[in-house]
């Protein structure tokens, strides 16, 4: 009885109807994720493209033939050998970034669009490297990437794929070229070091010369200032001496007007005359003197006569500028003139 109930339950129309509804719903309702598309075929023929969201299919008639992602994809491009324009063999690899624009073309236009785009990137990269020299491949890497992307997009337009960018990861030249490049870079570094050293020496010499020049200029200015100050001091000293002499002469003149002053002048003249005769006696062994010349009173009388003559008559410019000779300055003892009392 229990087994019969179980069999009756499984073979009841309600159970089979429930199973049929479940299968229909399972294969007829499709939820497509965001940034993805489903390629739908009906009896093996393209039916349409289902985009993100809720979609319905006819069970056992419609089927999903392909699931295409619309996101940007990154694919490693395997390393390969390429020859540059100057016949240098390089090993190059890179990364390719692309996305699917047309799922229909990506499904029916090419068997495997990822493999096709990767192979196209390799061949295009070899072609572009063959147009450039070795130095340009390092200097113009951005231009090389742009040319590769443009060439791939032109060839892959029938596949419904757009290449966004291509990035070269490594460019490896042969070992001999690497050694030559290292030697060249070392020579360049040595050259730059020598240039910098010579520039430093030149600047140091310039600074030293400018310092010496400034030192000489300062020394010359100091010497000039010293000479100016010395000259001004000497001029002031001469002026002071002249002023003192003028004041002394004034004082002597004022004192000479008095009887005591005249006696003092007579005594000073007599002293100077005696001193002058002593000096002449030292320089010459023979001296001719008039009578009475040894008498101090006669010498003083002669001096007073000269003073009296000068005070009574204005001085002659010629006689002032020209010193008197020995004959003109000699006054004989018998010459007329005032006599001093003994």
How much is the average pLDDT of 23-42? 83
d(CA 196, CA 138): 27
d(CA 141, CA 97): 16
Q: Quickly list DSSP for 80-146.
A: EEEE-TTS-EEEEEEEEEEEES-HHHHHHT-S-HHHHHHHHHHHHHHHHHTTS-HHHHHHTHHHHHH
Which DSSP category does 33 fall into?
Answer: P
- Tell me which architecture the domain covering 73-173 has in CATH: 2-Layer Sandwich (3.30)
According to DSSP H, which parts of 29-65 are helical? none
Nearest partner of 114 among 134, 98, 95, judged by Cα:
98
Q: If you search the block for the tokens 């063999």, which residue do you land on?
A: 89
Q: Is the pLDDT of residue 324 over 50?
A: no
Q: Please report which confidence band the pLDDT of residue 170 belongs to, taking 50, 70 and 90 as the band edges.
A: confident
Q: What is the pLDDT of residues 262-321, one digit of tens each?
A: 777 777 777 777 777 777 767 655 554 554 544 555 655 665 665 555 455 444 444 433
Q: Are strands 36-42 and 29-32 parallel, antiparallel or unpaired?
A: unpaired
Q: What confidence score (pLDDT) does residue 97 get?
A: 94
Domain positions in the chain are 2-69, 73-173, 195-256, 258-329
Q: Is the pLDDT of residue 154 over 80?
A: yes
More confident residue, 333 or 43: 43
Q: Measuring CA to CA, how many Å separate 59 from each of 17, 42, 45, 53, 75?
A: 15, 10, 15, 18, 36
According to DSSP H, which parts of 257-295 are helical? 259-283
How much is the average pLDDT of 137-164? 87
How much is the average pLDDT of 185-205? 86
How much is the average pLDDT of 28-45? 86
Residues 6+ apart with CB under 8 A from 71: 35, 99
How much is the average pLDDT of 63-72? 88
Q: How far is CA 306 from the centre of its chain?
A: 88
Lowest-confidence segment of 7-16, 218-227, 297-306, 323-332 by average pLDDT: 323-332
* C-alpha R_g of the chain: 66
Q: What confidence score (pLDDT) does residue 334 get?
A: 45
Neighbours of 77 (CB within 10 A): 22
More confident residue, 24 or 235: 235
Q: What confidence score (pLDDT) does residue 214 get?
A: 87
Q: Is the pLDDT of residue 100 over 70?
A: yes
Computed over every residue of the chain, the mean pLDDT equals: 77
User: What share of the chain in percent tops pLDDT 90?
Assistant: 6
């Amino acid at each position: 009885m229990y087994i019969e109930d179980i069999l009756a339950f499984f073979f009841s129309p309600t159970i089979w109807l429930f199973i049929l509804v479940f299968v229909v719903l399972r294969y007829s309702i499709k939820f497509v994720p965001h940034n993805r598309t489903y390629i739908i075929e009906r009896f093996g023929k393209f039916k349409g493209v289902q985009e993100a969201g809720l979609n319905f299919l006819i069970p056992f008639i419609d089927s999903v033939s392909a699931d295409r992602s619309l996101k940007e994809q990154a694919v490693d491009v395997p390393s390969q050998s390429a020859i540059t324009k100057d016949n240098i063999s390089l090993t190059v690899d890179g990364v390719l970034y692309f996305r699917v624009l047309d799922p229909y073309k990506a499904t029916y236009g090419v068997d495997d669009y990822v493999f096709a785009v990767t192979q196209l990137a390799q061949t295009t990269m070899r072609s572009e490297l063959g147009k450039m020299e070795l130095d340009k491949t390092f200097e113009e890497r951005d231009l090389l990437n742009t040319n590769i992307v443009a060439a791939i997009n032109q060839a892959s337009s029938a596949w419904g794929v757009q290449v966004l960018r291509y990035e070269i990861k490594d460019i490896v030249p042969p070992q001999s070229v690497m050694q030559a490049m290292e030697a060249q870079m070392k020579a360049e570094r040595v050259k730059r070091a020598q240039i910098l050293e010579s520039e430093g020496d030149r600047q140091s010499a310039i600074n030293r010369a400018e310092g010496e020049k400034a030192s000489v200029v300062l020394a010359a200015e100091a010497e000039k200032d010293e000479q100016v100050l010395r000259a001004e001091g000497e001029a002031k000293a001469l002026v002071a001496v002249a002023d003192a002499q003028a004041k002394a002469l004034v004082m002597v003149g004022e004192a000479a007007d008095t009887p005591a002053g005249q006696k003092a002048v007579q005594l000073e003249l007599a002293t100077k005359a005696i001193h002058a005769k002593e000096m002449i006696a030292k320089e010459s062994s023979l001296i001719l003197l008039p009578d009475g010349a040894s008498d101090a009173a006669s010498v003083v009388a002669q001096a007073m006569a000269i003073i009296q003559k000068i005070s009574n008559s204005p001085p002659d410019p010629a006689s002032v500028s020209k010193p008197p000779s020995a004959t003109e300055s000699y006054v004989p003892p018998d010459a007329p003139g005032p006599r001093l009392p003994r």
